[in-house]
């Protein structure tokens, strides 16, 4: 019910490019959000999606984050996990457009799952993608998918993200351009992940948070992040929330039509 009401509110209040008067937001809407690309270029990734959706394999899922609303069993069919959990291809292509439009190179993803979004994040050869996955069995499938496409710019870090992420942030000297959070869909972990990652980001970095209206707790986390003193502008796409830190942008919150 929370997700339905949030969607109705979003549908009634979201705006398009004609209502955006700041150059940055108009450029984001027209060139990144509504930009076009050759979907056929991603055919190898979509072939993997098809394989996952028809897989007969079952795996034991290590549930470290918020429990599934549909299936909370430990042993689950890969096809069922894929059908309910994979990001639509159109949304994944948005990630690629953002990376290319802003020339982002260092990417961090929390929540690898089967690696479909990871492959889209790594679709530009100049990028380096660090992806974190807590479940060893889903990480194993993701590694297989990475090998199948021959990509060499992905580093998968397996283990409890509450341990592996702060260790990475402490040891890494790279500045992070783009963060995609799709891991523990709970209030406190979401805020903690952002705080761990912020010192590694810069003024032109972008954070994308998945499922901001998935539950009341996630919406509260999103609202808390909107008020964060380092955040200048936020973009609500209903499924995704985007945090910006650019000092030239006034404190503002946008709901955009997807």
- Residue-wise pLDDT tens digits, 195-217: 999 999 999 999 999 999 999 99
Q: How far apart are CA 188 and CA 227, in angstroms?
A: 15
Q: Which of 176, 172, 236 is closest to 209 using CA atoms?
A: 236
| Mean of per-residue pLDDT scores for the chain | 93
Mean pLDDT (whole number) for 141-152? 96
Q: How far apart are CA 74 and CA 60, in angstroms?
A: 5
Specify the pTM: 0.93
Q: Is the pLDDT of residue 101 over 90?
A: yes
Q: Give me the domains of the chain, ranges plus CATH numbers.
A: 2-42+87-255 (3.40.50.150)
Residue 65: the pLDDT is: 53
Beta-carbon neighbour count of residue 120 at 10 Å?
A: 23
Is 88 in a helix, a strand, or coil? Answer: coil
Q: Which residues contact 130 (CB under 8 A, 6 or more apart)?
A: 106, 107, 108, 109, 155, 157, 168
Instruction: Tell me the CB-side half-sphere exposure of residue 147, using CA atoms within 13 A.
Output: 6
- pLDDT per position as a tens digit, 153-194: 999 999 999 999 999 999 988 999 999 999 999 999 999 999
What angle (nearest 5°) sits at the alpha carbon of residue 236, between those of residues 52 and 93?
35
Tell the residue number behind the tokens 């394999």, with chain if given: 57
Mean pLDDT (whole number) for 63-84? 73
Is 41 in a helix, a strand, or coil? Answer: helix
Label residue 64 by pLDDT band (50, 70, 90).
low
Q: How far apart are CA 37 and CA 49, in angstroms?
A: 19
Distance of CA 251 to the CA centre of its chain: 23
């Amino acid at each position: 019910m929370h997700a339905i009401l949030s969607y109705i509110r979003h549908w009634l209040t979201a705006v398009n490019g004609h209502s955006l008067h700041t150059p940055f937001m108009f450029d984001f809407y027209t060139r990144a959000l509504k930009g076009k690309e050759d979907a056929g270029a991603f055919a190898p990734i979509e072939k993997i999606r098809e394989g996952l959706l028809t897989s007969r394999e079952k795996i034991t899922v290590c549930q470290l984050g918020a429990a599934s609303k549909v299936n909370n069993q430990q042993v689950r069919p890969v096809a069922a996990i894929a059908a309910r959990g994979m990001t639509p291809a159109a949304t994944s292509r948005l990630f690629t457009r953002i990376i290319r439009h802003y020339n982002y190179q260092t990417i961090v993803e929390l929540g690898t799952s089967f690696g479909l979004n990871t492959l889209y994040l790594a679709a530009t050869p100049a990028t380096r993608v660090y992806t974190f996955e807590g479940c060893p069995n889903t990480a194993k499938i993701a590694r297989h998918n990475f090998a199948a496409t021959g990509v060499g710019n992905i580093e998968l870090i397996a283990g409890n993200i509450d341990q592996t992420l702060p260790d990475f942030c402490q040891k890494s000297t790279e500045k992070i351009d783009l963060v995609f959070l799709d891991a523990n869909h709970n209030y406190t972990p979401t805020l903690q992940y952002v705080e761990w990652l912020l010192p590694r980001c810069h003024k032109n970095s972008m954070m994308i948070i998945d499922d901001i209206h998935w539950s009341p707790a996630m919406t509260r986390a999103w609202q808390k992040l909107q008020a964060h003193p380092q955040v200048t502008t936020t973009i609500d796409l209903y499924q995704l929330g985007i945090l910006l830190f650019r000092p030239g942008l006034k404190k503002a919150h946008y709901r955009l039509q997807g």
